Each structure stands twice: as C-alpha cells, then as structure tokens.
DNA sequence: ACGAGCGCCTGTCGGC
DNA sequence: TGCCGACAGGCGCTCG
C-alpha cells in the first residue's frame, strides 16, 4: 500500500497520538503475538514472542517505506507492502481477521499490524541497519542532492520508471509518486536515464521532492478500502486518471504497463 | 547490468 | 444473483 508519505503519516500518528488513540511511545509490551507465520522474517516465532515481552517502545522512526519501532534491546521493523496498516485499539476488541502481528501493551491497548494480502513483512532485530543496507538515500534529506541524483541517473542505463521505483536508488517512492513526479517533470516513464542533461535531472529532482512534500501535507493518499486518513488522491494529476484530460494540455491521460505496473502519463506533455 | 515474467495473497469492482 | 477476469500503493526471485 503505502509509500513514503503514507508511512510517514502513520509514523507521526503513532508517535504523537490522535483523537482516537494516545501515543504509543514509552508503552511497554505485555505480550507480542505472531498471527501469520510468514509475516515475520526473523527471528522465529518463539524467540520473537519471548524477547519482545517486557520491552518498551523508545522511539518510532522511518527509513524509506519501513517503520521502525525502537525498543529497549531490539527494533521491530515493519514494511507494509501493498495492503498493510497499523492500528491501535483496546485489547478488549476481538482480534480482527487481518491481524498479523500484535503487540499488547500493559495499559490494555494494543497495536496491530494488519495486512489482508499478507505481503507485508516484519523483523525483530538488534541491528536494523543490516536490513536497510541496500536502501538508497532519503529523498527529503539533505544528503540527497541534485548532484547525487544526476550521478544516479547517468551512471546507469535504465528506464526512468523502474529506476525511480528501485529502492536502492531512492528510498520511499512507489507507483503513485513516481507517476506524479514524472508528469510534473514532463518526463516520459520510458526515457532512458543516461540520456539526460543536468537541467532535465534538476527538473525531476525538484518534482520528486515536490510531490512527496505535497503527499505529506495531504497526509498521504487514500485509495480503495486500504489506507484511510489522507486526501492526496484528490490532487493526483495522472495516477488512475486514464482517459481524463491532462490538466496542462487537455490530452487524454494514457495508461501503459511498465515494469508490470500501471503507468499513467500525458502522451503530449511527456515525451521521450 | 538491465528488463521481463512470475509468485506471493486477498479483496473489490465491472461486465455479462 | 453469481461467476470471472482485471486490477490493486511492493518486492524478491529467475532467466535471458
């Protein structure tokens, strides 16, 4: 489901609390439960449930699309993939059918990693950086510079869309924000990355940061039945707008398949 | 070093 | 109403 803005919104709500539930910062785990075995990559179920009991959440962070629940001695990492979400509820509620990992806290609330499609993954490890080893830079951090990005494009010979979806190049972009960024930069998703000049690269660099910032400002995008709570979907220029007129030139938005993914573009504004 | 294809899963929606 | 295919915010794998 979620990309960087959605994951970041979830992180902030867990950390700061909402009208519906308090912050889960500094909550102590009474018991950890694994409801679907494949969701937890490591360690095994017994080690997880034994080790997490009694640990307190000391910080909630994010790296790319990963949520980081920093605890006393280890960190719980969660990647929501396509349909994952995090909910906080009273532990008197019946356990929902999509709960995959549950942390019951001492104050009778619980946090659940819910995931209908079971693509999501979790890790409970002492050294989270090992899991993040292959991730590229955070696109909104200062270490992600125009020069770095230009270098990332020109030292590879790749189609723009798969390059931007590649988490080892930039961490956090997914199908929505890639399509929106390419439209904003007026770049065709099948453009070859090594055939670009600095002007072109800067346009895309700015577009990536712009759409991510707007996504964050709108608290992410809510589509279908999954993630709720953001309204960036109302501001999409191309994503899932096949056939609708381009907001710049009126040409119908086109849908093609690139990297097995739906790809939306204005064939007039975005040319190779 | 690339992209294409496929597998992993379940739910929703539109067409017939 | 029921069935069936298309589609869904991701990513790891194999194969050319």
Q: pLDDT tens digits, residue range A156-180? A: 999 999 999 999 999 999 999 999 9
pLDDT of residue A7: 97
Provide the CA A224 to C1' C4 distance, Å, integer: 21
pLDDT at A120 over 80: yes
The whole-chain average pLDDT of chain A stands at 96
Q: Which nucleotides of B are covered by protein (CB under 7 A)?
A: 1-13
Give the nucleotide nearest to A223 (CA→C1').
Answer: C9
Tokens of A201: 């690269």
pLDDT of residue A122: 98
Query: Could you tell me what percent of chain A has a pLDDT over 70?
Result: 100
pLDDT at A107 over 70: yes
Catalytic residue among A11, A13, A62, A65: A65
Q: Which of A156-170, A185-199, A217-231, A251-265 has the lowest mean pLDDT?
A: A217-231
Integer Cα distance of A33 and A50 in angstroms: 10
**pLDDT, mean of residues A248-263:** 96
pLDDT at A58 over 90: yes
Instruction: Based on the residue annotation, tell me whether A65 is a catalytic residue of this protein.
Output: yes
Catalytic residue among A186, A255, A261, A267: A261
pLDDT at A1 over 70: no
pLDDT in tens, A215-245: 999 999 998 877 778 999 999 999 999 999 9
Identify the residue with better confidence: A228 or A205: A205
- HEC string for chain A: CCCHHHHHHHHHHHHHCCCCCCCCCCCEEEEEEECCHHHEEECCHHHHHHHHCCCECCEEEEECCEEEEECCCCEEEEECCCCCEEEEEECCCCCCCCEEEEEEECCCEEEEEECCCCCCEEEEECCHHHCCCCCCCCCCCCCCCHHHHHHHHHCCCCEHHHHHHCCCCCCCCCHHHHHHHHHHHCECCCCECCCCCHHHHHHHHHHHHHHHHHHHHCCCCCCCCCCCCCCHHHHCCCCCCCCCECCCCCCECEEEEECCEEEEECCCCCEC
pLDDT of residue A51: 98
Integer Cα distance of A249 and A268 in angstroms: 8
Provide the CA A107 to C1' C6 distance, Å, integer: 45
Catalytic residue among A2, A5, A128, A137: A2
Name the maximum alpha-carbon separation found in chain A: 60
pLDDT of residue A229: 84
Integer Cα distance of A125 and A123 in angstroms: 6
pLDDT band at A266 (very low <50, low <70, confident <90, very high): very high
pLDDT in tens, A85-106: 999 999 999 999 999 999 999 9
Residue whose C-alpha is closest to residue A148's, from A178, A170, A174: A170
Q: Is the dihedral of CA A149, A154, A155, A159 positive or negative?
A: positive
Give the nucleotide nearest to A226 (CA→C1').
Answer: C9
Instruction: Based on the residue annotation, tell me whether A130 is a catalytic residue of this protein.
Output: no
């Amino acid at each position: 489901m979620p990309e960087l803005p959605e994951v970041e919104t979830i992180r902030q709500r867990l950390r700061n609390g909402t009208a519906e539930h308090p912050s889960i910062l500094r909550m102590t785990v009474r018991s950890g439960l694994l409801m679907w075995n494949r969701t937890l990559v490591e360690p095994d179920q017994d080690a997880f449930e034994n080790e997490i009991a009694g640990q307190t959440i000391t910080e909630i962070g994010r790296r790319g699309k990963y949520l980081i629940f920093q605890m006393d001695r280890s960190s719980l990492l969660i990647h929501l993939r396509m349909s994952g979400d995090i909910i906080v509820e009273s532990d008197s509620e019946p356990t929902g059918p999509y709960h995959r990992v549950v942390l019951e806290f001492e104050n009778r609330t619980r946090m659940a990693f819910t995931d209908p499609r079971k693509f999501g993954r979790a890790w409970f490890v002492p050294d989270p950086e090992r899991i993040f080893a292959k991730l590229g830079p955070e696109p909104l951090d200062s270490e992600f510079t125009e020069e770095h990005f230009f270098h990332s494009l020109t030292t590879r010979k790749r189609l723009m869309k798969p390059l931007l979806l590649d988490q080892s190049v930039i961490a956090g972009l997914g199908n929505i924000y890639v399509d929106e960024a390419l439209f904003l930069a007026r770049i065709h998703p099948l453009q070859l990355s090594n055939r670009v000049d600095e002007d072109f690269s800067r346009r895309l660099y700015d577009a990536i940061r712009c759409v991510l910032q707007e996504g964050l400002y709108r608290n992410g995008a809510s589509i279908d039945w999954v993630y709720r709570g953001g309204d960036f979907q109302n501001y999409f220029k191309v994503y899932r707008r096949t056939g609708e007129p381009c907001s710049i030139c009126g040409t119908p938005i086109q849908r093609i398949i690139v990297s097995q993914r739906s790809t939306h573009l204005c064939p007039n504004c975005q040319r190779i």
